[in-house]
Structure 1
Amino acid sequence: MAAPSLLPLLLPFLLFLASPYLSASHRSFLKLPLLHRPSPSPSPSPRLLRRSPSAKYPVKSGAPFGAGQYFVVLHLGTPPQRLLLVVDTGSDLVWAHCSSCCGGDCSRRAPGSAFLARCSSSFRPNHCYSPSCRLVPRPPPSRCNRTHLHSACRYEYTYSDGSLSSGFFSRETVALNTTRAETETAARLKGLAFGCGFRVSGPSVTGSSFNGAQGVMGLGRGPISFSSQLGRRIGSSKFSYCLMDYTLSPPPTSYLIIGDGPREENATSSSLAFTPLLANPLLPTFYYVGIKRVYVDGERLPIDPSVWSLDERGNGGTIVDSGTTLTFLAEPGYRRILAAMRRRVGLPEAERVPPGFDLCVNVTGVRRPRLPRLSFEMVGEAVFSPPARNYFIEVAEGVRCLAVRPAETEGGGSSVIGNVMQQGFLWEFDGDRSRLGFSRRGCAAS
């Protein structure tokens, strides 16, 4: 959810966790299905998504049109409770909306709308003086109450638009399906650190684009993210996913894989293009990449590379983020791209342009509209060249709009490659080698 106006205000530290049930010696991996839920309409505003062991979770896209978030199902607690979490590479914290009711006390709450902490025998809040409590931002006053040495650890994870999740930083047991040599087995992961959010507010986490989710699975680079916590237990900080095309019907299924499990069909190391992951000490959560050049229909645009770069104060840069829907580009680069698109689109502009879009074209009666091809040449000679449907989205019958917006410059806003732009590619986030791989051949619908 790292959009230019939604950068989490968090500087993570080293995390210490109890001994896990899963270990690298198990040679297992985690595999989670990814689920796609559409927003009511395509929103132009930003959102706010080894060693051989790994975890695999299915990923499903189910929207006939529009843009939204991608989800995984996580079973938390004892007995397990099913939760739908947003997959977000732009934040670290794993958190779920929590309720203190249990049993008959929950008659006014819709089933599955929150994690019922009192109904789980394995729920344990971290205490205020624990090392784990130092890993999360805390609400004022941040000091522990010395008269209550066993008081619970309170957290307040805030986004710059004012949205927040606040509650108790806790530990829980997670039910997982692990895979060994293509055989899936059930396993329990003990001691997952997560935020039990009793107060959740703001458009990023309660608005229509959140779309019924109960929380967020942070997959950022910090030590409290889901991928980092599992990575320490299975011996790898690598994870990969495919965000399937939301326009396809029937809805395809893909997977979030944590660890060094098998890639999707037709994806091999040689088929992946790699670019280095860049570090920003001031905002270590995010997956920064370097852009060298941008092309439209093969023509290099006159954009200075510094437009895409981090400065000495940690501002700017380019982030790959599954939790932001559209793509946001630094203003000078965006204006060059927009002008090139207008020159080359070859289609009449739509009479009515929805708010938030700068370029919309009328494709009524055109079976296969010819739209300009956008390409990004990245550091390491990797070239990301998505199909036009990844950045010209259908917002109404016969109308397609450029789903790229200028990044906000206040506060040193970053460029963000959002989840619509990422669709149809396998993305491999390799923290062990500090690189990002991607391949058009890596996503197979199943």
Structure 2
Amino acid sequence: MLVIIILLTFIHICHSAVINPNNHHSAVISSGDHHFLKLPLHHINPLQTPSDAVISDSARLSVLLATLHRHPNLPLTSGAYAGAGQYFVTLHLGTPPQPLLLIADTGSDLIWVACSACRNDCNATRPPHSAFLARHSGSFCLHHCYDPACRLVPKPRPVGACNITRLHSPCRYEYSYADGSITNGFFAKETTSFNSTTGKLLQHDSLAFGCGFKISGPSVSGPSFNGAQGVMGLGRGPISFVTQLGRRFGDKFSYCLKDYTVAPPPTSYLMIGTNDRNPKMRYTPLTTNPLSSTFYYIGVQNVYVDNVKVRISPSVWDLDKMGNGGTIVDSGTTLTFLPDIAYRRILTAFRRRVNLPIPEGSPPNFDLCYNVSGINQRLSLPKLSFKLVGNSVFSPPFGNYFIDTAEDVKCLALQPVTSPGGFSVIGNLMQQGFLFEFDIGRSRLGFSRSGCSKSR
């Protein structure tokens, strides 16, 4: 607490109105009447060779699945904190800018970074760029506890009285996760810059974010966090990155997640706004859950294996009046999670169609694995398709749901949701190779394979 008190003596409190997504002066890329911000996405620990990819990805997935089985509710918050398969974006905070690596996560709202109150010789006590040095920025300020913006973040307990007459009464926040991990600190405001694909540093005058001084738990402080300094929340709530950038970018964003096991790994992109129209884009409505404003819910009607409908009651996919169930699209979750009854019937459909040997010592966390020794080059596996509301069909290639877990071993990368009230998650492995457009203004999700093959 002494560190926090010292910080407050050097940082001023900003008094502001509610977060206004239209009140900014960002530098943006313009093309005709379109405005967009294009940011490269990176995968952590780029893999050097295909053999390394098999070993490394298998190890990360083992950690991921072990965590999920210990904490079955983890997918109900965000899989970004499970430790495998995330995509990262570089954000520069402060004046002068300090580069930080954040997980790009559509399954959460809060933008937060690890913070430090260090003033002198900071690199001697911690690695460079491992935290945001608030006292090194000339534009950092804390939201006052009476600011309307402070109402938008969860508070630590017990919450002390907010004294409007005190200069140093900052807005405190505490964001917690299902496994007990937390980020706790001050809700602040800062000048923000981005490395764009044009090589220019683009500036956004004011971004509200969590400055975390207490970060604990395996999800956000252990080795599974893979060296990230925080999270860029891309959810639908009022404090998310995409909401704060606002209507100037057309209330939409998109990304193309490329296969990070390829060597060298191709560049993925996060596009805030849009610069062209894709005639091959297919759309499905986004559903709103009044009890969970963060997530991007879509409606699943049926599932097909090799174009044969799997016998699953449509009610299995429903979002009920209590906010339970439904299906979300999440860039921060690696694997895809489906209702247990749907998962079991899809599993049966695959077993009926695939006549390949079962490997000895199959990975314990996967229910369906095959030995593909000698047939990798001509391997063909059943096609999995999801019919969505709006008559659009999402049909990913089998490489998006059969993954290498060991040499010559492929496993079905689906997991069952067994917790009561749990919802389904379309994870980032299933999304690879598609351009996904989150059109918040028109409440719809678009997807297309044609927009992901080219550099946009």
Measured against the shorter chain, the TM-score band is 0.7 to 0.9
Partners of 1:129 and 1:144 within 8 A in 2: no
Could you tell which deviates more after superposition, 339-348 or 374-383? 339-348
Change over 3 Å in CA distance of 1:373–1:94 after alignment to 2:
same
CA distance in 1, matches of 2:195, 2:171: 30
CA distance in 1, matches of 2:242, 2:306: 37
Match of 1:212 among 227, 237, 241: 227
Does 2:336 align with 1:327? yes
Match of 1:287, SS state, is strand
TM-superposition CA deviations, 1:176-227 (whole Å, max 9, x none):
3579xxx775432111000011111223223433211110000000111001
Identity across the alignment (%): 60
CA distance in 2, matches of 1:358, 1:382: 29
Match of 1:416, SS state, is strand
Match of 2:294, SS state, is coil
Match of 1:433, SS state, is coil
Alignment-mate amino acid for residue 357 of structure 2: P
Does 2:64 align with 1:33? no
CA distance in 2, matches of 1:149, 1:98: 21
CA distance in 2, matches of 1:397, 1:302: 34
Match of 2:151 among 134, 142, 145: 134
Alignment-mate amino acid for residue 98 of structure 2: Q
Could you tell which deviates more after superposition, 275-284 or 144-153? 144-153
CA distance in 2, matches of 1:25, 1:80: 20
- TM-score, structure 1 normalization: 0.86
Match of 1:133, SS state, is helix
CA distance in 1, matches of 2:145, 2:111: 18
CA distance in 2, matches of 1:290, 1:314: 14
Match of 2:180 among 162, 166, 173: 162
Match of 1:441, SS state, is coil
Q: Which residue of 1 aligns with 2:440?
A: 431
Q: What is the Cα deviation at residue 143 of structure 1?
A: 4.6
Could you tell which deviates more after superposition, 93-102 or 24-33? 24-33
Q: Which residue of 2 aligns with 1:19?
A: 23
Match of 2:319, SS state, is coil
Q: What is the Cα deviation at residue 17 of structure 1?
A: 6.4
Match of 2:169 among 137, 148, 151: 151
Match of 1:227, SS state, is helix
TM-superposition CA deviations, 1:26-61 (whole Å, max 9, x none):
753211001012564323335646xxxxxxxxxxxx
Alignment-mate amino acid for residue 168 of structure 1: F
Partners of 1:18 and 1:191 within 8 A in 2: no
Identify unmatched segments of 5+ residues in structure 1: 1-13, 50-65, 263-267
Does 2:218 align with 1:200? no
Q: Which residue of 2 aligns with 1:296?
A: 305
* Matched positions, count: 407
TM-superposition CA deviations, 1:389-414 (whole Å, max 9, x none):
1011001100111110001323x111
CA distance in 1, matches of 2:349, 2:342: 11
Identify unmatched segments of 5+ residues in structure 2: 1-17, 46-56, 69-74
Alignment-mate amino acid for residue 243 of structure 1: L
Match of 2:244, SS state, is helix
CA distance in 2, matches of 1:90, 1:315: 16
Q: Which residue of 1 aligns with 2:95?
A: 78
Match of 1:380 among 387, 390, 398: 390
CA distance in 1, matches of 2:345, 2:217: 33
Q: What is the Cα deviation at residue 344 of structure 1?
A: 1.3
Does 2:190 align with 1:176? no
Q: What is the Cα deviation at residue 356 of structure 1?
A: 1.6
Change over 3 Å in CA distance of 1:79–1:275 after alignment to 2:
same
Change over 3 Å in CA distance of 1:348–1:110 after alignment to 2:
same
Partners of 1:178 and 1:186 within 8 A in 2: yes
Runs (4+) of structure 1 exceeding 6 A deviation are 23-26
Alignment-mate amino acid for residue 169 of structure 2: S
Q: What is the Cα deviation at residue 340 of structure 1?
A: 1.0
Partners of 1:96 and 1:114 within 8 A in 2: yes
Alignment-mate amino acid for residue 392 of structure 1: F
Match of 2:113 among 79, 86, 96: 96
CA distance in 1, matches of 2:224, 2:157: 29
CA distance in 1, matches of 2:122, 2:449: 50
CA distance in 1, matches of 2:201, 2:264: 28
CA distance in 1, matches of 2:208, 2:244: 8
Match of 2:350, SS state, is helix
Does 2:413 align with 1:403? yes
Q: What is the Cα deviation at residue 101 of structure 1?
A: 1.0
Alignment-mate amino acid for residue 326 of structure 1: L
CA distance in 2, matches of 1:109, 1:175: 23
Partners of 2:21 and 2:245 within 8 A in 1: no
TM-superposition CA deviations, 1:116-171 (whole Å, max 9, x none):
11111111111111111110000012353327353111100111221211111000
CA distance in 1, matches of 2:86, 2:120: 31
Q: What is the Cα deviation at residue 24 of structure 1?
A: 9.2
Match of 2:26, SS state, is coil
CA distance in 1, matches of 2:301, 2:196: 39
Q: Which residue of 2 aligns with 1:311?
A: 320
| Pairwise CA RMSD | 2.2
Does 2:375 align with 1:356? no
Q: Which residue of 2 aligns with 1:251?
A: 265
Q: What is the Cα deviation at residue 20 of structure 1?
A: 1.2
CA distance in 1, matches of 2:19, 2:318: 29
Alignment-mate amino acid for residue 386 of structure 2: F
